[in-house]
Each structure stands twice: as C-alpha cells, then as structure tokens.
Structure 1
C-alpha cells in the first residue's frame, strides 16, 4: 500500500507505532516486513525491525528504481551475456561479451563464491537474504504488469544470494584484475592454433577503456576539523566521481533498524549497506587511491614448452582451466565455445600485445590482493555503525576490508581522519629492489616470477596473508583540515606530509593533480569554513589550470601570429572573453581551452616553471611560450582546435551547456563541469557525440556536505544522475536537472525532517518469513 502525506495523523501514528515501537511488533517470526518512506527525488528511507527485514526493503526499493540495471549486471557477473546477446555484443563498459563472460567465469567460480559466502557474518547473510527476497517480490509484481522495454526477455530472472556475492566480487577487483579482462581472456600460448586471440580492434577498445578507467573512477573529499569549522564540529564534503551507468552507479538510501542502526548515504548496486554516508555522529567518504592492489609477475618459461615455467630452477606446468560458454549465433541458435585459461602459482596469465607479450621466453601472471578479501561487506557494515572517528578507525584497522579507496571522516566532536587503509600487496622497497626491474618504473609493479622469494611478504599482524598490516599504511588525524583528490597520501595536508612508504603504497615528490592544488588553495583561505564554502568548491565550476596558464595564452595571442593571425583571431577573442569557468554559460573559450591544453599536457616540457617537490602546491605553472618548441606546439594546438570547432559547426555564441549533456530518455539535460586534468573540481568526463556535442559518461555522482549541530547531522546534497535508471520513472532525471541548476537539497535524516518533506510517501511491504535458502549457484 502507498500512504501519502495527506493521510490523517492518527493513521500515520498507528503505522509508525507498528513499525518502530516494539521490536516484537516487527520481529514476528512468521513475517518479514519493511517500511519504505520516500521523500523528495524519491529517496527511500527504509526501516525494519531486523536485518532480514532491512535487506528486504532495500532489495524491493532498489528494484523499483533500477530493476533493469540490476538484471543486466547479474547477467554480466554470471558470465551469460554471450548466451543471450551473442559473443560480438558489448557490455555497458564497451567490453565484448565473450571476453566479459570468460573473465567472470574465471572470477566467480563456485568454489570462490561459496568461500566468500561462508566467510560472511550471520547479520550480513541475513541482510543479503532479505535483499534477494525484496528484489524478487518487486520483480514478480513488475512481471505481472509488464517489464520495462529495456529488460523484456527470458534473461531476466529472480535473484539468488550467489548473485550478490558475484556482484561484490566484481566490485572487489575493479582496482586490479577487472582492468585486465581482455588480457586474461585473450592470453594465448605462442604459435597456438587451438584458440584465436583477440583482434586488433578488441585490444584497441580495451586500451581506450583502460586509459579512461582513472577518469571514470575518481573523487574529491574534504574533512574540516574543530579548528577550522564554523561551529567547532566536523564538516565533510563527499564528491565521488563514478560512472553514470552500469554496475558502479550509486544509489541513495537511508537505512534504519530502531535502536541499532540509523545511516544514510549511497551504495553501489547489489550492496545492502551504505558505502559513503553519515549517521548520527559520524560522516565519511572515499576517494580512489593510488596504491597498487595487484602486481604482475614475469615468468621465465621452459625453453622446451611455453606452457611450462621455471620457478627456483624447476620446470612446472601452467594450470589450465577450460571454460565452455554458450553463445547465441546470428541464426539465433546456441553454439558452444571453449577457451583455455592459464595460471601460475602467482595467478592467471595475462597478455597485452606490445606490453605483456606471451612468447617463448616470458609470460606474465597477475596477482590481485582483493581476490582473498572476504571482509569487504563486514567492513562497511561496521563503518555504518561506528559512532566516532575513533570507532571507524578501530574497525578499519581490525578488518582491513576496504578494497581500493582512501577514507576521510569527521565526527560531531570535530575530529577528522584520513586513512590510506586499503588492501595493498606487501611489497616493500627492499623487495622491489630485489625483485623488480627499475627500468619498468612503478606505474605497474612487475616482479620476478622465477623466484619464490619474490612472493609477497607475510605479516602476522595483517588481516590477510600477503598484504600490509594496518600499522604500515598511511593515516593522518588533524583538527584543521584534510583533503584528497586521487593523488598519493603525500600532501593530504602540507603541514604534515605523509612520506617514507613503499612505492606500492604511496609516492612522494611527484606532481599533484590540479584538483588537489585547487583544494589546497581554497582551504588555505578558509579560516572558519561554512557549509556554503564547501559547496562552492564544486558549484563555482572554476577551471584551476586557467589561472596557471591563461596569462601566457593571452600573451601569445597578442604576438605577431603571421599567416595564422586571421585563422586564430576568433579563437583568441573567445579565450579573452571566457570567464575561466566550466559552468553551463561558459562560452566558446572553454571549448578552445580544452582543445589547446589537452595535447599540451602530454608534454612535460611545456611548463615555464617546472615541478619543484619543495613547492608542490604551486608548480608546475605557466607556459614556456618563449621557447620555440613550446610556441610551435601551442600554435599547432590552437590551429587544431579552431579546425575542430569549425568542423563541428559551433558558433561564437555557443554555451558549454549546449555542448555537454546527458541524454536521458531522448531528452538531453545540460551538465556543468569538465575534465579533471584541467583542475575542474566538479570533474565530469564526457565523450564526443553527434553535432559537436559531448555525452556525459562519468564524473560527479553522489554529492553531499555534512555538518553537525546539537541535533545531529545536517546534510545537503544531490545524486547527479538521479535515483532511477528507468526512463518511465519520475526520478529518472529530476536530480540531474537540479544538479544543472546547482540546487542542492537538504537530505532528510530525522523523523521530523522525513515527515515534513513535501513529497513524503510510505509503503509497507511484508510476506511470510521463509527459512533461509542455502547458497544457490546459478
């Protein structure tokens, strides 16, 4: 039943009483129940008396908003895309279905899924079981009415708890093996005629997606402590940058078990808890870290057989896993395709032509630390319930379940903390010196796979064999401020540099991202920060790099440009009139600024003032237009940008909001923000579309600022791409429009705030409580 806010007060009071006034009112053994209250933008506030009921409400609400998205992701992690859509089709991430299926067949074996499930706590299992039941109830209701067009087909089915495990395991390897799906699926022994390698086009698509990975998954975070906040309590800005479609698309929700849990925030698909959020006393967020979560091992092959390798001088065979998949052919008939995947003691063989070649001398294995991380759900479960920064730290130090992100947190007492406490291979500086080739560098760690001595070190204090213990990883607690924008841990606060760590964990004396320099600049001028100050860091749409190079660009325009003067006149005019913003009203100058700077940033020699590790906040800066090679590169970039703008048909009066958009249900919505490498804090990643337009694919996602007062948390925020991925939903594009207008909304948290919301609705769902179903492997 749906209950609108116009119901008589006695009815609402009766419903509220039935749900929250007696643990035994909801905890009837014969029923599973949940209440879903929705406020503005459809945000669900889910309340139940126990874990299973809470999961039940989460699964039901999520299916109301994102049924087709979940069905698609479940198909993916179960390695069945080729069966229903053909091997040549593509996932939402533009990966060919066959490679995707081979990868997930390798990742989500029945043994791995069973081991993960058995490692979960009873509370987590109960919540996952409830999620499955709630989702399946909503699926049955929607099937009776007719499923949305985008998920009509026999590939849509009820969930099993194993599906949630597989989704979680996919999340775990996003920072490691997940980036090597094609390399794993396409690894082929030299001169093999048994199986065909991927085509050049496949590898190029994989390479393009790999380059986009860091852009699609970034984040900004600011934690303000008692010394700098307006009221002496903690303040937090959460600004993760994640994909706007697919399995990494955040979902807003508020979870309550009266007397046990009260937490609000955002979660990734299939996770029945909050990843980024706040509760009565604590707020936290994550940023993608620069730590390494996998290493490669270069195997020395047996000269007699490239499917055997030498370890400590002894030849041993690569393990073989034959994967057979069903693939839908052009005629609609199913065909069987078999591939053999190879592994050494260090992990699967991966092959990337020109980079990681498998020849008669060497092959490469990949070892991902998060494959053994069964603690991830228990970790976020504990974080959701932590009542202080100290409590949060304790849980992270004990469990070490965070996969590949940093954590920044504040509490209502004004304490702050930064933790680079993720799952990191225990490879010390000494081991790198012993086992890696210095010519390879540290962007990707490649160890010697011919010696068992080069295996990851073991620390009995670590929560998992082969990773660093919590005490060996960077963390910093302060009462002024902390910030992070996907750099290493080094400059979280320049007053206390974090240094001296293995390069596998964190590096120092390297240039900061422009977003971090922007944040440090803003924070240095915030003496008593207000909520609006943190909001403006995102909503001002400042292009920080423009402040570093525009004087030189404009000076170059004033020079004698010779035969190119007329061709560049319009470009120079637009640069001069541009307000150095990435807002919707930014003119053609911003388009040209991107066209000029993107190629120039590929050349480290363009800077007038080079990077100085003693002054990382202000270097590098300026363009060395007085040097002939730089001047020539700048002229070529300007001419190319002018040509591109003319070819796209963009007039002098065009605005950024006319160009950068997201197509939602055939109706475009303008999106402010821009490329992160230009120092746009509101980082938005868009790709070229038709008619000179750009389609948003990732960037600012869940956005909020949390402060505290005597009553508890006060939060404002938005979900930039909106709550629902269903074009028929009223909440398909409403928050996107608010985001375009910079209209942050208060996030209702207290009972009074929820009830007072103008869009308040409530739905009570229940069904007979069944015995927990054993883990079913689909």
Structure 2
C-alpha cells in the first residue's frame, strides 16, 4: 500500500515536472539571435490628423528605424506574428493553425537561403534592414508587456530578409502544388487553362487542412487588385494619373500600412507596405509612382523523382544522387503546453521535395533561393526617372506581380513582371516533368527585356485587373500575344473587373476626375462571361412553383447587374455570384447552381426573413463598435471580395478594396495624392482614435490628402516625436 502510494506520488511529481517542462522548454530551446551591429539611429515621426506616420531621418537607415517603430506603435501584434513566422515559431505563438507555416518555412529552406544569400546583398540594403530591425527591437525593449512570445526579440536584418524569402512565392501560387502534393490531390497549374494531373490513392499529410497554404495571411487564389494609369493626352486637364486599388485582407500580415518617408539621402516616398517591410511596396515619390496587381504566370515546375527502394537517393541522368533530408520539430502550442511534433523535409537538386504514397515530387519555382527582391524594392523606391526605374526593375528580384507605372513627364506603362524560367523546348511543361532528365531542369530566368511591357500606348491609358496582359489598353493598342513564347505560361484569363474597366475607359473621350471616380467606384457586372453563364444556369433550374426559390429566380432574372445596393435582387446576386467567380478565378470545379441558390435563399430567410433584403443591410464593414453598410461584390471594381458570416447572419467584409491611392502630376510636374484605408492607421489598437476613423470616408467613397509635401504636413500635424538609440524613451 505504501509502495503504491509512493508510486502515485512519484507519478504525480513526474506529471507536474513534465507539464512544467512542456510549458517552458520551447523558449529555452531557441537560440538567442545576434542583434544588429550597434549604431546610432535617430528618426522623427510626425503623425497627421489621421495618424499616418511621416518618418524623417538623416539617413535611409534612420528612416527604416522609424518605419519599424511607428508601425509597432500601431500594430505590434501583427509584427510579432511576422517575426514568429520567419523564425519557424508561428505554431508556438498561434497553436496548430500556425504549424503548416513553420513546415513550409523549413521545406523551402528559408533559413538556408538567408545564410547563403544575405551577405551578397548590397551594403546599403543591409544597412536599411538592420535599421528596421533595430527599430523593432527598440519598441520591444520599451514595451516588454506587449511581447507575446519569449525570446522573439532581438531581431536582425537577416530576420527581415527571411520574411521576404518566405512570403514572396505565395503571391504567384506556390501554395497550390504544395497543398496538392501533401494531400494527394490533383495538381492545378497556373498560366492558362487548367491541366489537372491526378495523383491516385490520396495520401493525407499529417498537417493538411484547409488552411495549410495560407502562410501570408490571405488565400492567394483570391488575391486581386485594379490599377490604372492615364497619360496627359487622354486627360481632360493635362494631368497624368495613377490609380492604386489593391485588394488585400483588411487585417493581418499582408494588410496595407500607410506611411510617408523622407530621408536626407534622397528617399522620399508616400505609399504603403506590409508588416515586416522597411520599404513601401507601392505609391509615389516626386517624379514617379507605380502600383501592383497580382499576375499568375506559370512560374512553378514539378518533377517526378525516380527514387531507389530506400527512398534515400534519386536518379539524375546516369547518376544516383543522395536525397537530402532533415528532421524538424514543429513546436505547437496546446493550451499552456508546447508539444514537439517531428516532421521530415527533403530536397533534391531541383528544389524542395514532397514524398507521398506515389513517390517523390520536387518543386522548382521563380525566385527560389534568392533575396534580390529586397534590392529591387529599395532601388525603385529611390529611382527619380523612368530610365532609373526600369534599370532597377531589370534587376529582377520580385518573382511576380504586375507593375503599373506613371510619372511626372507623362509616361505610363504596364509591366507584366515575372521571373520567367528559361525552359527548354521538347517537354510538356504543363504536366509533371521527368525528374531524371537534367534537360528539363532550367537553370536561369529570361532577362527583363523579355517581360511583356506596354509603354505609352496610343489609347492614352493602361490598366490591369488580374487579367491577361494582352488586354490592357483597349482595342488596337494591345500587345501581340504571338510575340511571346507559350513556354512563358502567360495567362489568358479575363475578370469581370477587366472587362468592365475596358468598357468604361473606352466610353470616355477624355478622362478627368469625374471619369476616374466613376471607374474606380463602379459596382456593375458585364452581361457576358462566367457571370452570364452562371446566372443562366440558375435561371434554368427546376424549382418548386410558388416557392421562395422560384421567387429568387425571378428576382435574379430582373436584376440590373449592379451591386450598388439599390436593387431588390442585389443581396441575392452578391451571394450567388461569389462561388461562380471563385471557381472561374481558380480555374476549378464548377459549383452546383441548385446548391448555391438553396443555401443563399435559406440564409436570407433565416436571418432577414425575406429573400430580397436590402443588400446594404446584409453586407457590412465592421471594426470594433462601428458597423457600416458597404456596396460592391466579389469581382466588381469597387471590391468587397470576401466576407465572414457573423452571428447575426450579416456578411462582414474581410478582403477587398483596401489601400486606395489617387496620384496626379499636373502640367508643371507637381505631384499631389489622396488616399484612404478601410479602418484606420491603428488596426489592432481599439483604444486608438485611428482604429476606425477612416471607415465613414471609406464607405462614402471619399479620400483624404496624403500631405506628401513636408510644408503642408507641418500645417496639419497632430503629433511629433523623436525616436532612436540616442534618444530617451
């Protein structure tokens, strides 16, 4: 009896010790990162009436320090998530939902890329990264109570670079093949019509779930944007115009953060970045500007490896090469515990390898194992004319995204930017490739001179709305698709937004303020394409006579094709069109029209008691205690792309129109700009006056001045502070 009692007490002690151990072992297992080299930084942060930070510094590194510090003041929570992601500690911070992100970081060997490539970056780029890291460290040190994860700080420039290496490939769809291969699902390829390659006997990866491939905080298949540039010749007032209308999540680690920077080293820029970046990704300086839209060329190739029986070597031409493998431990938070979860990652000469029941599959993708996007973004930020901007673009660091350009001299252009693999003819690049043939493994990318570019077309405008670059400037002024090799994998897709944009732009003789506003805030659908085909299918359904489903059919049959919130069928159309657009944009399986109609009608009846509630009662922009109606839909130029269904049945927008910027250069080349955000500058600070202060303007389709000129800022500043290593907190 005494023995059993002693055994029980001993077991209890072991359980307690084990519990304590699981609670504290993870931070103990993390190596302390060497902070950036000690240096004196000083930045002045001036905030305007909307809380937008304007950061001034003597050097670019000083400004980067201030960018990080100001952003942390507004959203330290998200910056910590980005830091955890780059360190492979997302699952420790956020639990099991973060484990796939940590797995992907290891699979892509982000840490190895930084070790191999960081020291090759130019010294001035590394100085800016260190300045940014130092700003984050300073904020963390001054606000220890806000730190969510032990030993997350200090960070250094390498950590900042790692964030770029991890997140960049997911903007051109690397999530797709990784998810398909880990789950044993058919492969869907980018860059034109879908080709599905079945992988039989589905194998479910232990980390697989619907969220496995969303490490950038957004579903890459739903990314969108509209962008327009108008030359003086087409303008009604001789102005050059650039309209930036990015569609991103409204919250999270790829939500836009607005800022303005001024450095005595010539870095003057107004725009927006993502958490974790020292540089604005889009916007303008005095002389030029650009914006971006997601493009989807085929930049990923997949190889079936010939493995030996032990699966530790693969055939490559006439040799057997060892398959690299590495055991990793995903540190997953469960309540107060952190549980180690083992996984194996593989690599071949091709790139990352995923092994399932069908064998080994290697991936090779644009921008693999490089950090040059950091240099490119920095250089285009500081370019002062079109030639310098194009020279910076020719560095080809950004793996993919359209750039729509305009400048003070009246130049405009669309650049279908991508690091196109230099593929050899003779292979079906649309399918899984033979991994044992070195001729199928491309070694370089095409030069920037091969990138599709449309500069100063006769139409006087360029546009993109996540559509093919072959539709960008209207009839008679488009690129000739016959001049581009099919091996480049350039997509042929159109969106409702692209078709509608061309229709509207072609209807104008001249384009001024009124016309550009009409275009930007348009909420209509064209009566052709996937939307027309889908509504025809719904109209043809055999539903019970006299039922609410028949009523819904009749309402949709009379719909005015405009999601402005004024018609009785708008709520119905909003909800039934979203699945159709999703399948069209993803080139995926078509939804069942009867199922979608039934779900929509049932939802509206359950929560609103009718099938024709006003759309503006259904679709909402919500943050904190502010709850506002909003218009637009899933593929309208005024975009309310994705939403969460909340407890009251209303649809709370979480993705769509986000940072909007109107830029103009007058005849004298003087720049002015206006902008708006859906919520405000401080998206995770409910106590801040800038948590919701832009919402009413946003739904009212109004813009605020950017105050790029420091003289104008001084007249309208709300606060000012100096931060830096030589400044007392």
TM category (shorter chain) comes to 0.7 to 0.9
In structure 2, relative to structure 1, the CA distance for the partners of 1:35 and 1:85 (3 Å cut) is closer
1:582 aligns with 2:582: no
- In the alignment, the residues of structure 2 paired with residue 502 and residue 358 of structure 1 have an alpha-carbon distance, to the nearest angstrom, of 35
**Aligned twin of 1:374:** 371
**Aligned twin of 1:20:** none
- In the alignment, the residues of structure 2 paired with residue 548 and residue 72 of structure 1 have an alpha-carbon distance, to the nearest angstrom, of 38
Task: Answer whether contact 1:294 1:366 (CA < 8 A) is retained.
Answer: yes
- In the alignment, the residues of structure 2 paired with residue 167 and residue 548 of structure 1 have an alpha-carbon distance, to the nearest angstrom, of 37
Q: Give the C-alpha shift of residue 315 in structure 1.
A: 3.3
* 475-484 or 654-663, larger mean C-alpha shift: 654-663
Task: Answer whether contact 2:43 2:57 (CA < 8 A) is retained.
Answer: yes
- In the alignment, the residues of structure 2 paired with residue 231 and residue 530 of structure 1 have an alpha-carbon distance, to the nearest angstrom, of 6
**Aligned twin of 2:161:** 165
The alignment partner of 2:233 has SS state of coil
Give the unaligned 5+ runs of structure 2.
1-37, 185-202, 585-589
**Aligned twin of 2:4:** none
In structure 2, relative to structure 1, the CA distance for the partners of 1:598 and 1:66 (3 Å cut) is closer
In structure 2, relative to structure 1, the CA distance for the partners of 1:130 and 1:212 (3 Å cut) is closer
What per-residue deviation string (whole Å, max 9, x for no partner) do you get for residues 265-320 of structure 1? 01111111121001111121111112223211122333x34443322244333211
1:664 aligns with 2:668: no
In structure 2, relative to structure 1, the CA distance for the partners of 1:406 and 1:552 (3 Å cut) is closer
In structure 2, relative to structure 1, the CA distance for the partners of 1:67 and 1:528 (3 Å cut) is same
**Aligned twin of 1:744:** 703
Task: Answer whether contact 1:474 1:498 (CA < 8 A) is retained.
Answer: no
- In the alignment, the residues of structure 2 paired with residue 561 and residue 180 of structure 1 have an alpha-carbon distance, to the nearest angstrom, of 38
1:274 aligns with 2:267: no
Matching residue within 83, 93, 99 for 1:74: 83
* 652-661 or 715-724, larger mean C-alpha shift: 652-661
**Aligned twin of 1:468:** 446
Task: Answer whether contact 2:531 2:577 (CA < 8 A) is retained.
Answer: no
Q: Give the C-alpha shift of residue 365 in structure 1.
A: 0.6
- In the alignment, the residues of structure 1 paired with residue 531 and residue 252 of structure 2 have an alpha-carbon distance, to the nearest angstrom, of 37
**Aligned twin of 1:309:** 314
In structure 2, relative to structure 1, the CA distance for the partners of 1:588 and 1:686 (3 Å cut) is farther
Q: How does 1:430-469 map to 2 (within 5 A)?
A: 430=425, 434-436=426-428, 442=430, 446-456=432-442, 458=443, 466-469=444-447
Q: Give the C-alpha shift of residue 179 in structure 1.
A: 5.0
Task: Answer whether contact 1:329 1:335 (CA < 8 A) is retained.
Answer: yes
Matching residue within 245, 248, 253 for 2:251: 245
- In the alignment, the residues of structure 1 paired with residue 155 and residue 215 of structure 2 have an alpha-carbon distance, to the nearest angstrom, of 29
1:345 aligns with 2:320: no
Q: How does 1:733-772 map to 2 (within 5 A)?
A: 733-757=692-716, 760-768=718-726
In structure 2, relative to structure 1, the CA distance for the partners of 1:578 and 1:155 (3 Å cut) is farther
**Aligned twin of 2:3:** none
Task: Answer whether contact 2:295 2:467 (CA < 8 A) is retained.
Answer: yes
**Aligned twin of 1:44:** 53
1:564 aligns with 2:560: no
1:99 aligns with 2:100: yes
1:691 aligns with 2:652: no
Matching residue within 435, 452, 463 for 1:483: 463
**Aligned twin of 2:610:** 651
Q: Give the superposed CA RMSD.
A: 3.6
Give the unaligned 5+ runs of structure 1.
1-28, 91-96, 188-195, 352-356, 459-465, 605-629, 771-778
Q: How does 1:480-519 map to 2 (within 5 A)?
A: 480-493=460-473, 494=475, 495-500=477-482, 501-507=484-490, 510-519=492-501
- In the alignment, the residues of structure 1 paired with residue 595 and residue 726 of structure 2 have an alpha-carbon distance, to the nearest angstrom, of 70
The alignment partner of 1:409 has SS state of strand
- In the alignment, the residues of structure 2 paired with residue 256 and residue 103 of structure 1 have an alpha-carbon distance, to the nearest angstrom, of 36
1:724 aligns with 2:682: yes
- In the alignment, the residues of structure 2 paired with residue 211 and residue 767 of structure 1 have an alpha-carbon distance, to the nearest angstrom, of 32
**Aligned twin of 1:262:** 268
- In the alignment, the residues of structure 2 paired with residue 318 and residue 51 of structure 1 have an alpha-carbon distance, to the nearest angstrom, of 43
1:544 aligns with 2:496: no
In structure 2, relative to structure 1, the CA distance for the partners of 1:640 and 1:647 (3 Å cut) is same
TM-score by length of 1: 0.77
What per-residue deviation string (whole Å, max 9, x for no partner) do you get for residues 670-717 of structure 1? 4432112xx444252224333322232322221111111236212122
- In the alignment, the residues of structure 2 paired with residue 507 and residue 549 of structure 1 have an alpha-carbon distance, to the nearest angstrom, of 23
**Aligned twin of 1:198:** 205
The alignment partner of 1:118 has SS state of helix
**Aligned twin of 1:422:** 418
Task: Answer whether contact 1:52 1:130 (CA < 8 A) is retained.
Answer: yes
The alignment partner of 2:418 has SS state of coil
- In the alignment, the residues of structure 2 paired with residue 336 and residue 416 of structure 1 have an alpha-carbon distance, to the nearest angstrom, of 53
1:592 aligns with 2:572: yes
- In the alignment, the residues of structure 2 paired with residue 364 and residue 168 of structure 1 have an alpha-carbon distance, to the nearest angstrom, of 25
**Aligned twin of 1:8:** none
Q: Give the C-alpha shift of residue 455 in structure 1.
A: 1.1
- In the alignment, the residues of structure 2 paired with residue 593 and residue 478 of structure 1 have an alpha-carbon distance, to the nearest angstrom, of 38
